[in-house]
Amino acid sequence: MKGLGNYSTANKPTEERRVGKLVMYRADRAMIEFPGALSYGITAVPFRAAGIAEGEHFVLIVHRLRGAIIDVPRVEKHAAARPPIDRKATPKVLVRDGRKLSTRRDGR
């Protein structure tokens, strides 16, 4: 049977994104750190190609298919957060309509 539950997406590659911090360069290695105190030493080539300096944050992008890595992991600079959207907050109002109680936004 096709398309049962979570099994329908088993043949589609997934993209895993992990944010980390480049601690330091040591010769041709990059010492990186992920949240939760996980530290690794990996090749520095993708970090230098992306222009990531020591102490900066990065995003490691890995494509997987059924748990196996199917592409070369990619490194990108971590972008700054977007500014918040400027909008007016509208409070919710309780409305009694006959026997039931519902909520709506106050449009004043």
Total residue count of the chain as it appears in this document: 108
Give the tokens for residue 52.
């990531």
Q: Residue 53: what residue type?
A: A
Q: Residue 24: what residue type?
A: M
Contact between residue 50 and residue 75 where contact means Cβ atoms under 8 Å apart: yes
* pLDDT tens-digit readout, 1-57: 555 555 556 688 889 999 999 999 999 999 999 998 789 899 999 999 999 999 999
Radius of gyration of the chain (CA): 23
* pLDDT tens-digit readout, 67-102: 888 888 899 999 888 888 877 776 777 777 777 777
**48, containing H or E segment:** helix 45-50
Of 18, 23, 27, 37, give the one whose Cα is nearest residue 75: 18
Domain ranges of the chain: 12-77
Choices 3.40.640.10, 1.20.140.10, 2.40.50.140, 3.40.50.300: CATH for 12-77: 2.40.50.140
